[in-house]
Every structure is written in structure tokens, then in C-alpha cells.
Amino acid sequence: PVPTSPPTPVPTSPPTPVPTSPPTLAPFASPSPLLAGCNGLDAGDIMIILVNSDNPDVVALAALSDIPEGIDLYMTDNAWTGSSFRTNEGTKKLTVPSGGISAGTIFGYGDTDLYYGNDWVTESGSFALSASGDTVLLYCLSDANNYVHLAAF
């Protein structure tokens, strides 16, 4: 047999670097400004986990972040127009008590078994949920008095 020389190596390009950190997503476009939040509270810090309508009305919430004391949380069944709320239904308000609400706490409206279940006061109108198509929106107001949407169901 005739001796053969080893194959000539084919030049290769260097490997494409692999990112070391996960990609980040751009924030979603919101119909309302998420300016300074409400003392650090922003969209997604509270989750609506249960809604019962047509008597008794019950809304259960889960704190996904610590909620500082003194913040006013508003819950409404008024529709959002894109810049403000309609005024044909109602709004309830809870002033977060001393000590705040710790992340992981289940609390809500309308049931004495829920923390702060009967502590919501009527801010305006008549908050009366209907099984035929109501929406529940939870928000607070920034220092500039802008709506900061926290959760919706």
C-alpha cells in the first residue's frame, strides 16, 4: 500500500458565544402609567386567586410581595376605559394596617375567614359582583395620583 498523509485540517470559525445571562423581556405596554408605583408596590405584586359573585361576593387575594402599611388598595367592578374607570358600579378601599401584609399572605374581601375580609370600606357606588360578566380590578394610586394597576380578574 501507498502511504497516505493525514487529511488537511479544514479551518473552522470560532464557536458562537453562549449568553451567560437569560434574556430579558421588555415591559408590557400598560394603559396607565406605572410611575413610581405605590410605595414600591407594582403590577403583579398581588394576585386575585378567587372570585365568588351573586351573594356572597368574595374576592381572595395573594400577596406576592410585602405590602407596606398605610397603602390604600382599591377594588372595583367598574370597567376600565383605557384612561379611567367608569362610575356606574362600585369601588371598595382597604387601608393596609400597621405592620403591612407579608408576602405569601392570603387576604381579601367579603369573608370573615380571610384576613381583612370585612375591613374594606365603600369608596364609591355599589360594589356588587355579578356572575353574568363582572370584572374585578385591583389598583392603588401613585404619589402623583395616577392609577397603578395591580391585578385583574
Q: To the nearest whole number, what is the mean pLDDT of the chain?
A: 83
The residue among 26 and 127 whose pLDDT is bigger is 127
Is the peptide bond between 97 and the residue preceding it cis, with omega within 30 degrees of 0? no
Residues paired with residue 26 on neighbouring β-strands, in sequence order: none
Cα gap 9→2, rounded to integer Å? 21
Query: How many angstroms separate the first and last alpha carbons of the chain?
Result: 81
The pLDDT, as a whole number, for residue 95 is 97
Q: Percentage of residues in the chain with pLDDT exceeding 90?
A: 64
Residues paired with residue 80 on neighbouring β-strands, in sequence order: 85
Question: Going edge to edge, which strands form the sheet with 121-125?
Answer: 121-125, 90-95, 72-76, 137-141, 147-152
The pLDDT, as a whole number, for residue 132 is 85
Cα three-residue angle 124-36-144, rounded to 5 degrees: 50
pTM of the model: 0.75
What the block records as the C-alpha cell of 104 is: 405569601
In our burial notation (b when 16+ CB lie closer than 10 A, e otherwise), range 111-137 reads beebbbbeebeeeebebebeeeebebb
Query: pLDDT, tens digit, for every residue of 13-70?
Result: 555 444 444 433 333 334 344 445 688 899 999 999 999 998 899 999 999 999 999 9
Cα gap 68→65, rounded to integer Å? 9
- Is residue 149 predicted with pLDDT exceeding 70? yes
The pLDDT, as a whole number, for residue 110 is 95
The residue among 23 and 103 whose pLDDT is bigger is 103
Residues 113-118 have a mean pLDDT of: 96
Cα gap 92→124, rounded to integer Å? 7
